[in-house]
Amino acid sequence: MTKIEPIGAVRERVLVTLRQEIISGRLRPGDRLVERELADRFGVSRVPVREAIRALVAEGFVLFETPRRTVVRRLSPTDVKELFELREALEVYAAGLAAARATPEDLADLRELLSSAAHATEAGDAEAITDINTRFHDRLLAMAGNTLLISVMEPVGGRLQWLTRRNEEWPQLLTEHQELYDAIASGDPERARAHALNHVQANYRSTVRHLFGTPADPAPAQPSAAQPSAQPSAQPSAQSSA
């Protein structure tokens, strides 16, 4: 007897596949998503495809240009700036919490990810680098120990991964992650926030340069009076062995 896949599972399978194809660049900005063609490709009815497309619209990956035309979204400089403003506010705060709350097991997990990132960077493996860097930031958020912070970040996580996938300055990215690890491992929240701020702003400038070929001006946001200066309170320790 043929097992019937629940429609919710079908929708999720289509959604996950299309989202990943957008993030990886297989589906490019401006590409059309046609319900009939996608239903044929996945071997499903048009209903779960329609629901998956609506979810992608809600996540900010695609848009309805007209009622009958759906395309992968083209991000504007304003879109990118707003996403990085949010990332800056949340990740800088998370880094401070992580420095205060990190356990030896947490730090070991980050070191392992950095080691994997170093190997992937040496090999020039874009897919592996993107995956590992996403896991690094997810682990950092988890280390902050604030479930509300994670829930706020989750809806835009895919779009941020989509953006940072365009940044191919991998050795620099690895160095920044190693320095951020050192700051968190030091147990100094102020130092960790400062490194996280520098990292996010550097990533913003690189992303804008790669997407639009122009300098990022102005920076996403300036630290508020409650945040530390962008300069670390102490010099970074030696980079990890990764």
Q: What percent of the chain has pLDDT over 90?
A: 69
> pTM surpassing 0.85?
no
* pLDDT attached to residue 226: 40
* pLDDT attached to residue 222: 47
* pLDDT attached to residue 214: 77
pLDDT digits (tens, 9 = 90+) for 109-130: 999 999 999 999 999 998 899 8
Calculate mean pLDDT across residues 46-66.
95
Calculate mean pLDDT across residues 163-176.
87
Least confident of 26-30, 61-65, 206-210: 206-210
Q: If DSSP states are collapsed to H, E and C, what string results for the chain? A: CCCCCCHHHHHHHHHHHHHHHHHHCCCCCCCECCHHHHHHHHCCCHHHHHHHHHHHHHHCCEEEEECCEEEECCCCHHHHHHHHHHHHHHHHHHHHHHHHHCCHHHHHHHHHHHHHHHHHHHHCCHHHHHHHHHHHHHHHHHHHCCHHHHHHHHHHHHHHHHHHCCCCCHHHHHHHHHHHHHHHHCCCHHHHHHHHHHHHHHHHHHHHHHHHCCCCCCCCCCCCCCCCCCCCCCCCCCCCCC
pLDDT of 51 > 70? The answer is: yes
pLDDT digits (tens, 9 = 90+) for 199-216: 999 999 998 988 888 776
- Pick the closest to residue 87 from 17, 12, 31, 162 (CA basis): 162
* pLDDT attached to residue 229: 42
Calculate mean pLDDT across residues 173-187.
97
